Structure formats: structure tokens, C-alpha cells
Amino acid sequence: MHDAWIALALTLKVAGWATAINLLLGVGVGYAMARWRFPGRELVDAVLTLPMVMPPTVLGYYMLVLIGTQGPIGAWLLQHFGIRMIFTWQAAVIAATVVSFPLVFKSARAAFETVDPQLEDAARLLGIGEFAVFFRVSLPLAWRGVLAGLLLSFARALGEFGATLMVAGSIPGKTQTLSIAVYEAVQAGQDDTANFLVAVTSLVCVSVLLSAGRLVPGRVAPRL
């Protein structure tokens, strides 16, 4: 059973990093999209939401094209830093980040749109700088929605399979996450391993979803 724990630890590491990156990216982009009016805004929104509806293998293929050693980003990394991204756990992080990004971005945008811009104006008039307005007014009023989105994206990253397999492969102990390990175990006819992996995965996903459910905005009365 030792291998299952290694796969779990790797999965949590990959999903954790992906969620941390999405905390910055998804919240930043979600806020910008909620506040800035510019032509083509909904088109940008649609493009950013694409990873949610595209088949993960297609996303994985796009990523291979970009970060593979022949790809523009991959070639640049190899040439300047000697880094090969493909088939590393970092590639799995990129795959999980891209796939789960729309969940954070969408929730964050919706949450920030419920914050009355007049409250931000009130803070500005009190002499508070733009960054402080975000951390003192916008974020505290939107955090429930943002957090629910982050938990959903964490759950999505935990279960990521297709794109991860394409860019990170299935190297036991290195890039073999839980969902990939399940697939490999079933393919190899190791039913005991598969059962155990499936049970662990289900348990982790259920607990994440339960926590997310508690944080969905609107279900909790205003704080007294």
C-alpha cells in the first residue's frame, strides 16, 4: 500500500500548487473582469472558460505543443535554463492549473460583481490606496465565493487525468497521481490496489466538496 500513499502525497502536492497559483491568477483576473469594462470582455471571458469545456486531452495536446522541447516556451526554457518541463511533476501542476483555472476565475468574478462599487469609492474617498481598498473592502466582501471556487478547483485538480497524462506521463513516484495510478492498476489487473486507491480518492473528494458546500455564498446569514 506504500505506493498509494506516495501517489496521494504527489496528488496533494500537485493540486495544492495548482490551487495556490489559481488563487493569485484566478482572483486577479476575476477581479479585473468584474471591474474593467472593455470591448470584447465577454469574448475574453469565454476564452478563459474554455478549459472547463474542452476535452482534457485536447488541452494536454495544446500544452505539449507549447511546453514540449520543440514548443516555443519549452524550447526557450531548455535553451536558457536547461529545464525540460515535459514528464515532470511541474508539468502536472501546469496541467492541473489550466484545467481548474475557470472554476476559480468564474466564482471570483461572480463574487466581486456582487460587491457594490460604491463601497470601494467610499474607501477611496477616505484616503485609502487602491491595493488597500482591494484587501480591506472588495476581498472581505467576496471571500466566500472566492474560497468556494478555490475548493472546487482543488477538487478538480485532484481528479485531473487526461491533460496530466499527456504532459506529465505516468512515472510511479514522480508523476503518477492517484487518478492515473487507478487507471494503471485496473489495466494491470491489480484489483486490491485499485480498490484502495479508489476509496482514498473518493474520501478526499467528498471531504473537499463538503467544505466547499459550507462556503457557498448565500447559504450563510450575514455575520452578526
Partner 1 sequence: MIWDIDITKRLQHGSASFEMAVAFRSDAPRLVLFGPSGAGKTQTLKVVAGLVRADRGHVRVAGRTLFASAERVDLSPQQRRLAYVFQDYALFPHLTVRQNIAFATRSGWTNPSRGLQDVSVDHWIETFRLQPVAEHYPHQVSGGQRQRVALARALMNQPTALLLDEPFAALDKGLRQRLREDLSELQRELKIPMLMITHDDDDVRTLADEVVHLQAGRVVAAIDDPQGVES
For partner 1, the binding residues (CB under 8 A) are 116, 118-119, 121-129, 131-132, 135-137, 140-141, 222-224
| SS3 labels along the chain | CHHHHHHHHHHHHHHHHHHHHHHHHHHHHHHHHHHCCCCCHHHHHHHHHHHHHCCHHHHHHHHHHHHCCCCHHHHHHHHHHCCCCCCCHHHHHHHHHHHHHHHHHHHHHHHHHCCCHHHHHHHHHCCCCHHHHHHHHHHHHHHHHHHHHHHHHHHHHHCCCHHHHHHHCCCCCCCCCHHHHHHHHHHCCCHHHHHHHHHHHHHHHHHHHHHHHHHCCCCCCCCC
> Least Å distance between CB 41 and partner 1?
16
Query: What's the CA gap between 18 and 162, in Å, rounded?
Result: 16
Residue 84 or 136: the one with the smaller Cβ distance to partner 1 is 136
> Least Å distance between CB 222 and partner 1?
6
Residue 122 or 210: the one with the smaller Cβ distance to partner 1 is 122
Residue 65 or 220: the one with the smaller Cβ distance to partner 1 is 220
Residue 106 or 144: the one with the smaller Cβ distance to partner 1 is 144
> Least Å distance between CB 137 and partner 1?
6
> Least Å distance between CB 127 and partner 1?
5
> Least Å distance between CB 33 and partner 1?
21
Residue 122 or 188: the one with the smaller Cβ distance to partner 1 is 122
